[in-house]
Structure 1
Amino acid sequence: MLPGTMDLFIDEARYQALLSKLGQGAASLDERVALCWHQRQREPAAAQQLARDLVAQPIALSAGDRARLALVRAEQALLAIQPDAARAALHEAREGFSLTADPEGLADCAWLQALQAVLEGRQPQALPFLDEIRERAGTDSLRGLAAGLWGDLLRTFADPAAGRARGAPGQEAIDALPLGAKAWAHELRGTLAAQRSDYGRAAAERLLACEFALASGQVQRAVVAIHNAADALNNLGAYEQSLHWMERALALVRERAWPQLMGYSLAQLGDTLRRLGRLDAAQEAVQEALALLSKAPTSRPFAIALKCEGDLALDRAEAAAALEAFEQLGQHPQALTQPDLAIFALRGQAQALSRLDRPEQALACALRALERATASGHAFRQIEALRALASLHTRHPALPCPPGSTAPNAALHHLLQAQALAQTLPGFEIPSELAEALADAWAAAGDMAQAYQLSRAANAARQRSQTELANQRVLAMQALHQTDKARAEAAEQARRADALMREMAQRVQQGKLQALGQLVAGVAHELNTPIGNSMMAASHWQARNEALSQAVQAQALRRSALDDYLLHARQSAELLARNLSRAAALVEQFKQIAVDSTTEARRRFSLRPLCEAALQTCQHEALQEQGLKLELELQIDAGLELDSDPVALQQLLAELCRNARLHAFVGRSEGRLRLQLEPRPGRAGFRLSLSDNGCGIAEADLGRIFEPFFSTRFGQGRSGLGLHVCHNLALARLGGSLSVQSTPGQGTCFVLELGDARSSMP
């Protein structure tokens, strides 16, 4: 595989095409390496097996190919929570791509190192790797665009206010993105929607992210998108739909045996079950999640599992267990860099301490939660923190009032702050829960008029909230419907593609049987002539032997009869030798037709001397056997070395040269052969072309010249197998293809595409 030729992600159609070629035994080495790379998340077990097969095969892999396979191993180790194995494989991949000076390969190493940082809970350390990707691959490439969006997503989690200021791509911009980057754009839009409490839009965007991720082979990203969509659905109270998607996430990770994502999925499942009131089932799911995630204790999924454990303990009235879980969450490395987790930990501790009748400590935690929410610039979390403080003061009225407060009571002080903050948000309307809390606080303070006005505002807000919630659920349901419809359409397309592939395979098999029949018939026809001639010569010789023996026994042998016998004996022997040699040559050619890739002897060799020998041999044979003077032209750098099968290439060139001198220059005394090597434009490998200025090939014959036993010179020493053997050598031994271009009266050009070949200048 040449540098710069491997995509980071491909669509399902291209993936299925690679899979089909492998199943038909027609995949080149480059295509097998590419399939292994793009199977890494779609079918991890198959990718690992293919990688082992590629390493074990007799064809020597290039440094770039070995680096790509090491990258596959590294990703599998990461997702299996095997950090040491992942680091070793990543180091091997970086060395290989550095050796081949492959910027995209090095960018893919950086992509995996960013993923490793995220999975291990070191999100800030992922950002330099994402910047490296953009520098190596280019900001406008698929890699660069996806890395940029991923970086924006991480920065938005760390600093929501800055994330809102940056924003996300609009729909028109997303439509122009490559498929592999669309998932990241929709995930970013979903995150921003969730941070402004627009959970219907958040669910819709994240489900779109899931579908685009699956379509481009990013299964890990699809599972994370499902988790985030399920969280948004939970906030909408759409628990059944959330369960539906969590079951899908679990199915995806179970098939691939990814313990970290399995633990993340179980934690989210436990949270949904808790909200549905199924506390025992939720407890079982959360405990299993914590056991799985204990192998990655610094990761964000482990922190989320701790939050789920704390929330569940509060619902089970187990305040001490809840406090332990939230304290552990507060000390988690993720809570130091992710404001949302730090705020969850402090608010949870405040609730648990309040229930344990430790109000002063609860107040300290609630105030710290407000500080963190204020520092994050997340207005909604500030409002939630202020409401939590108000609830705490209502539960523990002996707590001191905030300094400088002019409100009738502490609860009202915090609620009025929340109301003032809410009124600064554009388009924000006071929620019913806040209005009800304010009404209760004013009533407790004895101001019934204010309480009455706020009660009416709470009823109106509740009606608006119910309408808005219904609208958001409708939006989420529309997204569910669209994704289910897209999945159904994809399944139908896959079914049709599978039926088409089966039909194609059947036709290929029929074609193979037909070709085998033609081959057997051709073998019989071709061998019949020399064997028949040999039998005729042998039987004639046998009859002459019997006649000679009778003459000797009758003592009637004359000198002239003996001379005549010896003449016929010599002619018969020559005829036998000539026809048996012809039969032996045909058998050797038949063996070449069945050439097997296991006989490949790939090595590095100098290309020009091999080509010079082939041309010079052809020139000599043309002059000696046909009196034909050939002018030779060789356009290949003297220092060029090729990594391929030199024996197969020499056999192929010798046969092409022989075919040219016998067919291209009939009736002529001179001609020209040119052999030229050039890179394949826009693709890996090289193109070796042999052209002549001969008579050309008739258009009616051009489509059949690679068929076995097709020849325009039957009866003149040609079997019609030469070009068929060349075609098989090109495909099976050289991992390429052979084609022909010809114009009658102007000449012919045979083009050998060497996709698997690699070169270097010594």
Structure 2
Amino acid sequence: MELFASNETVSTLEQALSDRTDVASIAMQLELAWYLRQRDGQRALRMCEVIEQLLATYQLNAGEQKKIQARLQLIRAENYWLTTNFDNARQQIDMALQLFSDIADHPGLADTHWLAAQIEADAGEIQLQQQQLALCMVQAELAQDKIRYEIANACIARQNVLRMHHPDEEQWVRHFESLSIYQNQGLLTWVFDFLGVQAGQYSDFATATTQLILATEAAANSGQITRAIVISANICYSLAGLRDTEGSLKWGQHALQLARQKDWPISLGISLTQTADAFRKIDQLDSAKELLNEALQTLHNVTESRSYVIALRSLADIALAQLEFHNAYNYFKRLENHPVAKLQQDFQCIALRGQAQALLHLNQIDAALEAAQTALTIANANNYPDYQIASLWALADIFSAHPELCSAKLNQGVSSLHFLLQAVEIGEKIQDYAISDKLYARIAAEYATLADFSNAYAYSLLAFSSREKSLNIDVKNSAIALQLRLQTEKAISESEHHKAIVEEQQRRATILEQANETLCVLGTIGQEITTQLQLDNIYQVISHHVNALLDVTHFSIFLLDSTGSILTLTYGMEAGKRLPQHQFSVDDQIYYSSRCIRERREILVDNFETINAAAQLPDTLKMESLLFSPLIVANRIIGVMTMQSRRKRAYGEREQLIFRTLCSYSAIALDNAHAYSQLMDARNQLVDQEKMAALGSLVAGVAHEMNTPIGNSLLIASTISERTKTLSSLIENQSLKRTELLDYLDNVKEGSKLILNGLTTAATMLSSFKQVAVDRNTEHKRQFNLRTTCQDIAASIRNRITNSGHELQLLIPDDIEMKSYPGPLGQVVTNMIENALLHAFADRSHGHMIIAAERYGTDQIRLQFSDDGNGISEKNIGHIFEPFFSTRFGQGGSGLGLSISYNIITSILHGQLNVKSKEGEGTCFTMLLPIEAPDMKD
């Protein structure tokens, strides 16, 4: 990951990412968020939140987690820095340093120190800034990252050349000029910025402007928006030095516009200050003062910053120029006492020199003299030539105004001329320094006052020469400014041309992307359409999407009959109203739909003047644009689809493509629906046949089961009837014996018992048969405890289980409360137990059954009934829930128990029933039931 990336890199990243939110995209999203931190800070912060959500979803190793978290903290720290929330920014920096240190991430540490340096610079902690930049270079060197190393190096060099005549200055210039061949826009920003600032320090405004324009272009392209603002403001100041008022104001306006868009206090404050200085240079003092007051107001939360100090100094100079001496003195005094100015001797010189000039006009001569002398002492100690000359001039003004008072303070013979000559001497020692014609003229006047006309004349000539030289420089600068403006306008023109090309490419890419998106949408729509199997559903889905994608007032679908000769309007909507069914012949020459079938092609009519009014369906609106398309499947035409609009030329190439695609999907769906309808008819016939076969099997089974008890009952009943007739005859003949009567009674008693048992068995069989259809209206929903309910069910059938030699175990927590239908649930559990006793433990004893329950999620319970019995064979397990299916017809099985259970669970209890079994290894029925069942509807 780079410290700064070009706009092209960002664009490529965005295209690669699209809407991906998988684990593989986390690194790409982080990189994009990092590069957007100044381009679009709010979006970068939102992306940080998304990345953190992804980190919570996907498990990464500890090292990757720390690396990502640290980078997220840097992004947030930069946002805090730009909005001047330095304390929060430093907290994020400290956490990022710790995380990067834990994993020895040297590029990450370099970036952290770099950002810390920018924070300290704006906070006015220049020494801390230099320390952080040095640490950045150390980490970049460990990472073997030349770009990061040289960016920090250029920043240090730039800071140092702000104080003129640094011993390494020439070496730096040569070094950074050699780096200008690099293509990295982030590095070029600082290389050109250094070269521009260095040239500007020596009033080489032409070179400064050229280099700074290159710097601002590189800054804008590498996402360094704060630098772009500051450099644009510096260009404004530099062009003012070239007397290019128009160009200066244009760049000042550009800097302010960019700064106001971002609303970053320090960036806005700097641009306001630099633009104000440019106004001051062209003597627009009121405008300059207005901008500086706004700058101080903007920077009111960061009064400790260097930007605030610079604005304060400029405001003091303007007050002095406008002869507002009280205000000027107060501003210069505030500047002297400012914490940042106290640490920088150049600001001390400026503040004291300004106080001296203000105090002179306030007639406080002693204080003025002391301030000027202190300023000169500091300038001499630090070898500040410009400030030495300014301080000497101030002393000269004081001595010129009050020579008698000042001579008493200093050695006799000291005069204003003495200080002016010292200023000239210092200026002559500076290479390429242009001594002001005003200084020479002032010396000439002093000599003339002393009647030394020879020297007065000599310095007048020097003043004239300097003025002429200055005029030549102004002319030269004007020519350079004009040349620069032409070059800039040419570059802007070329840039706009390239921008237009890029915009055209982006427009084409957008069209292509929209086409791809449309295809994706159509693909999704196609899946939705073709998955429908009911005609009404297909019509609704097609109509919905046609209306959503296209301008449609009238939409109709016509289908061919089986003979292919008649078209029927099976679905039509116009202006929100359903159209009645309508039929006409394919050979009809009036209707476009018939023509579309005959010619097997699309028909577009986009002007009502060419439309035959008779071609409109009866009782429909007049349309301006009509599009008809045949519905073709495997070269078979099954119908026509049409959309129509009341707007002329409503359907261009894109609309036709969309409609053509929808027609293809619709044809497939309609053909599938027709095939499905035929299949369902055939299936229903098969189901009816299967039901009849199953019913025959059931009847045979039931008849077989009932034949024995009813046959026995009939036999016994007929026997009793015969015996009764015999008994009646004996009674009538009065020949009945006691033994015969007793024997008859025993036979009747035994026969009655057998008849009762047989009829009871038959009644039970009929009762089970009646339970196939569950009567919902007789069930009542109520709150109940699952464990208690299952215990009651087990208790009701416990004797039969025990007598059969088997065991039932309940594993149900006592805290499961349900609001459902306990009656049907009890019937299911009973059927499960009965089924196990009949099938699972046939011909064996010591069977073990378990009813277990547990919570499943927040709103369901999982109820399981398992046995260790015979299991279910693979061929039968798929049929056990079918009505009338049984492997023990004629042996007590009716084939109804599990079917009834499945019906109850799915329709009444609104749950799910599954079975797992293997022959010889037992069976497990699993029921997923809602804790609160929905209310039953009729």
What is the aligned partner in structure 1 of residue 437 from structure 2?
432
What is the aligned partner in structure 2 of residue 349 from structure 1?
355
> Are 1:9 and 2:4 an aligned pair?
yes
SS in 2 for 1:398: helix
What is the aligned partner in structure 2 of residue 205 from structure 1?
211
What is the aligned partner in structure 1 of residue 789 from structure 2?
none
Q: 1:59 to 1:453 in 2, by over 3 A?
A: same
Correspondent of 1:268 among 271, 274, 278: 274
Q: Distance in 2 between matches of 1:204 and 1:74?
A: 33
What is the aligned partner in structure 2 of residue 712 from structure 1?
none
Q: Distance in 1 between matches of 2:42 and 2:482?
A: 35
Q: How far 1:10 moved relative to its partner?
A: 0.8
Correspondent of 2:450 among 414, 432, 445: 445
Q: Distance in 1 between matches of 2:385 and 2:695?
A: 123
Correspondent of 1:50 among 40, 47, 51: 47
Structure 1 residues 712-743: Cα deviation after superposition (integer angstroms, max 9, x where no partner): xxxxxxxxxxxxxxxxxxxxxxxxxxxxxxxx
Q: Distance in 1 between matches of 2:71 and 2:497?
A: 33
What is the aligned partner in structure 1 of residue 139 from structure 2?
136
Correspondent of 2:115 among 108, 112, 116: 112
> Are 1:156 and 2:156 an aligned pair?
no
Q: Is the 8 A contact 1:283 1:312 kept in 2?
A: yes
Q: Distance in 1 between matches of 2:276 and 2:217?
A: 24
Q: 1:450 to 1:40 in 2, by over 3 A?
A: same
Q: 1:340 to 1:212 in 2, by over 3 A?
A: farther
Q: Distance in 2 between matches of 1:409 and 1:403?
A: 10
Q: Distance in 1 between matches of 2:313 and 2:158?
A: 22
> Are 1:302 and 2:319 an aligned pair?
no
> Are 1:76 and 2:73 an aligned pair?
no
User: What one-letter code is carried by the residue in structure 1 that aligns with 2:201?
Assistant: Q
Q: 1:78 to 1:427 in 2, by over 3 A?
A: closer
> Are 1:415 and 2:411 an aligned pair?
no
What is the aligned partner in structure 1 of residue 477 from structure 2?
472
What is the aligned partner in structure 2 of residue 359 from structure 1?
365
What is the aligned partner in structure 2 of residue 19 from structure 1?
14
Q: 1:12 to 1:296 in 2, by over 3 A?
A: same
Correspondent of 1:228 among 224, 234, 242: 234
SS in 2 for 1:295: helix
Q: Distance in 2 between matches of 1:20 and 1:159?
A: 47
User: What one-letter code is carried by the residue in structure 2 that aligns with 1:474?
Assistant: A
Q: How far 1:114 moved relative to its partner?
A: 0.5
Q: Distance in 1 between matches of 2:297 and 2:159?
A: 26
Q: Is the 8 A contact 2:164 2:201 kept in 1?
A: no
> Are 1:460 and 2:465 an aligned pair?
yes
Greater gyration radius: 2
Q: Is the 8 A contact 2:440 2:459 kept in 1?
A: yes
User: What one-letter code is carried by the residue in structure 2 that aligns with 1:262?
Assistant: L
Q: Is the 8 A contact 1:158 1:337 kept in 2?
A: no
Q: 1:209 to 1:376 in 2, by over 3 A?
A: farther
Q: 1:479 to 1:30 in 2, by over 3 A?
A: farther
Q: Distance in 1 between matches of 2:153 and 2:301?
A: 29
TM-score by length of 2: 0.54
User: What one-letter code is carried by the residue in structure 2 that aligns with 1:112?
Assistant: L
Q: Is the 8 A contact 2:241 2:281 kept in 1?
A: no
Q: Is the 8 A contact 1:118 1:299 kept in 2?
A: yes
Q: How far 1:301 moved relative to its partner?
A: 0.8
Q: 1:502 to 1:31 in 2, by over 3 A?
A: farther
> Are 1:394 and 2:397 an aligned pair?
no
Write the mapping of 1:356-755 to structure 2, written as runs, cut at 5 A.
Answer: 356-401=362-407, 410-428=415-433, 430-514=435-519, 520=526, 535=680, 538=683, 541-542=686-687, 544-545=689-690
What is the aligned partner in structure 1 of residue 908 from structure 2?
none
C-alpha RMSD of the superposition = 3.5
Q: 1:229 to 1:282 in 2, by over 3 A?
A: same
Q: 1:205 to 1:396 in 2, by over 3 A?
A: farther
Q: Distance in 1 between matches of 2:425 and 2:465?
A: 19
Q: Is the 8 A contact 1:267 1:304 kept in 2?
A: yes
Q: Is the 8 A contact 1:159 1:376 kept in 2?
A: no
What is the aligned partner in structure 2 of residue 686 from structure 1?
none
Correspondent of 2:36 among 34, 39, 47: 39
Higher RCO (C-alpha under 8 Å, 6+ residues apart):
1
Q: How far 1:7 moved relative to its partner?
A: 0.7
Q: How far 1:233 moved relative to its partner?
A: 3.2
Q: Distance in 2 between matches of 1:439 and 1:320?
A: 32
Structure 1 residues 257-297: Cα deviation after superposition (integer angstroms, max 9, x where no partner): 10122222223333444455544443332222212212111
User: What one-letter code is carried by the residue in structure 1 that aligns with 2:360?
Assistant: S
Q: Is the 8 A contact 1:121 1:300 kept in 2?
A: yes
Q: How far 1:484 moved relative to its partner?
A: 4.7
User: What one-letter code is carried by the residue in structure 2 that aligns with 1:355?
Assistant: H
Residues 56-65 or 408-417, more deviating: 56-65
Q: How far 1:422 moved relative to its partner?
A: 2.5
SS in 1 for 2:302: coil
> Are 1:283 and 2:289 an aligned pair?
yes
Q: Distance in 2 between matches of 1:356 and 1:263?
A: 31
> Are 1:87 and 2:232 an aligned pair?
no
Q: Is the 8 A contact 1:167 1:192 kept in 2?
A: no
Q: Distance in 1 between matches of 2:37 and 2:453?
A: 66
Residues 221-230 or 524-533, more deviating: 524-533
Q: Distance in 2 between matches of 1:533 and 1:542?
A: 14
Q: How far 1:449 moved relative to its partner?
A: 1.5
Q: How far 1:141 moved relative to its partner?
A: 1.9
What is the aligned partner in structure 2 of residue 102 from structure 1?
105
Residues 443-452 or 235-244, more deviating: 235-244
TM-score by length of 1: 0.65
Q: 1:265 to 1:436 in 2, by over 3 A?
A: same
Q: Distance in 2 between matches of 1:86 and 1:141?
A: 27
Residues 61-70 or 523-532, more deviating: 523-532
Q: Distance in 1 between matches of 2:678 and 2:139?
A: 70
Q: How far 1:351 moved relative to its partner?
A: 0.9
Q: How far 1:312 moved relative to its partner?
A: 2.2
Q: How far 1:43 moved relative to its partner?
A: 1.7
Q: 1:197 to 1:546 in 2, by over 3 A?
A: closer
Q: Distance in 2 between matches of 1:376 and 1:532?
A: 100
Q: 1:302 to 1:257 in 2, by over 3 A?
A: same
Q: Is the 8 A contact 2:353 2:390 kept in 1?
A: no
Structure 1 residues 29-63: Cα deviation after superposition (integer angstroms, max 9, x where no partner): 22221111111111222222322333345644833
The percent of aligned pairs where both chains have the same amino acid is 29
Q: How far 1:78 moved relative to its partner?
A: 1.0
Q: 1:226 to 1:84 in 2, by over 3 A?
A: same
Structure 1 residues 195-250: Cα deviation after superposition (integer angstroms, max 9, x where no partner): 32323323332332222211211111122222333333344444443332222111
Q: 1:53 to 1:75 in 2, by over 3 A?
A: same
Q: Distance in 1 between matches of 2:88 and 2:278?
A: 35
What is the aligned partner in structure 1 of residue 654 from structure 2?
none
Q: How far 1:429 moved relative to its partner?
A: 5.1
Q: Distance in 1 between matches of 2:212 and 2:101?
A: 37
Q: How far 1:347 moved relative to its partner?
A: 1.5
Residues 493-502 or 23-32, more deviating: 23-32
Q: 1:385 to 1:163 in 2, by over 3 A?
A: farther
User: What one-letter code is carried by the residue in structure 2 that aligns with 1:53?
Assistant: V
User: What one-letter code is carried by the residue in structure 2 that aligns with 1:33?
Assistant: L
User: What one-letter code is carried by the residue in structure 2 that aligns with 1:15?
Assistant: V
Q: Is the 8 A contact 2:447 2:456 kept in 1?
A: yes
Structure 1 residues 78-101: Cα deviation after superposition (integer angstroms, max 9, x where no partner): 111112221222223223323443
Q: Is the 8 A contact 2:242 2:481 kept in 1?
A: no
Q: Distance in 2 between matches of 1:343 and 1:485?
A: 43
* 5+ residue gaps, structure 2: 532-664, 701-938
Q: Distance in 2 between matches of 1:550 and 1:266?
A: 96
User: What one-letter code is carried by the residue in structure 2 that aligns with 1:107?
Assistant: A
